Amino acid sequence: MSVENALKLLGVGDGASFDDILRAKNSIVASCKDDQEAIARVEAAYDMLLMESLTRRRAGKVANSSIRYADVKPVNSQASSMPQWLQAAVKNVPVSVETPSTANLGVQAGVYGAMMAFTFVSGSTSSPGVYSGADVPGLILATGFGASLYFLTKKNMKLGKAALITAGGLVVGAVVGSAVENWLQVDIVPFFGIHSPAVIVSEFILFTQFLVSLYLR
């Protein structure tokens, strides 16, 4: 069977995506029911188009990113770590990147640097205090969240948009921080005196909050 005959049998055009080809094949097979000969021809046409597309991919002739290998579902990206409602909300919020002024860079670096330093000290100190190792980072994170909202709204950004951007930065920082902490396992082997996993995660969250509030608008 030629490629032209396979295209004609399935009723698709040249360069059709695998979704279209697979949909056409399933539709025709469903309509054929017990006609095994017709089903065999459809399957042969489908295999022909599959092999043709794979040959084109190897030759670098297929640039359409919508074409995927048949029956293979796309793998979810790292962004799936975000809650679905947050992904949908962030996608609908127009976000741009700007170059911060030297003054803003200095102020925000000082604010977040102080919070990160205090978080580090709270996690590495061995003397007991009013707050436990997990409570101090939590208090600082709340302060960092508020600072991010303040710096973003100073750019004439609406509070709702600022809150969504800040929440997105928090989630990204938490995901990256958790991955690093799982690798370090500071609760087993302390890292520079830090023995609380919450401190490691908090440091990454504060850093992403710093970047988000400084560069996004």
pLDDT of 27-67, one tens digit each? 888 887 778 888 888 888 888 877 777 776 666 555 444 44
Domain that holds residue 188: 78-215
The predicted structure's pLDDT at residue 199:
80
For residue 209, the tally of other CB atoms under 10 A from its CB is 26
Indicate if 135 and 28 belong to the same structural domain: no
Indicate if 88 and 152 belong to the same structural domain: yes
> Taking Cα atoms as reference points, which of 202, 199, 216 lies closest to residue 163?
216
Percent of the chain with pLDDT over 70: 72
Mean pLDDT throughout 183-212? 79
Q: Indicate the number of domains in the chain.
A: 2
CB 200 within 8 A of CB 183: no
Residue 172 token pair: 């990204």
As a whole number of angstroms, the distance between CA 167 and CA 68 comes to 33
Asked whether residue 76 carries a pLDDT value surpassing 60, the answer given is no
Residue 63 lies in a domain: no
Looking up tokens 């909050």 gives: 209
Residue 64 lies in a domain: no
Indicate if 159 and 114 belong to the same structural domain: yes
Asked whether residue 72 carries a pLDDT value surpassing 60, the answer given is no
Residue 196 lies in a domain: yes
Residue 185 lies in a domain: yes
As a whole number of angstroms, the distance between CA 81 and CA 36 comes to 45
Indicate if 82 and 185 belong to the same structural domain: yes
> What's the distance, Cα to Cα, between the start and end of the chain in Å?
57
Indicate if 122 and 161 belong to the same structural domain: yes
For residue 179, the tally of other CB atoms under 10 A from its CB is 14
CATH number at residue 13: 1.10.287
Higher confidence at residue 86 or residue 119? 119
Residue 209 lies in a domain: yes
Task: Identify which of 21-30, 37-46, 90-99, 202-211 has the greatest average pLDDT.
Answer: 202-211
Q: 3-state DSSP: the chain helix, strand, coil percent, rounded to 5?
A: 65, 0, 30
Residue 72 lies in a domain: no
The predicted structure's pLDDT at residue 46:
80
Indicate if 161 and 101 belong to the same structural domain: yes
Least confident of 17-26, 84-93, 140-149, 187-196: 84-93
The predicted structure's pLDDT at residue 9:
81
What is the pTM (predicted TM-score) of this model? 0.49
The predicted structure's pLDDT at residue 91:
58
Mean pLDDT score across all residues of the chain:
74
Indicate if 157 and 82 belong to the same structural domain: yes
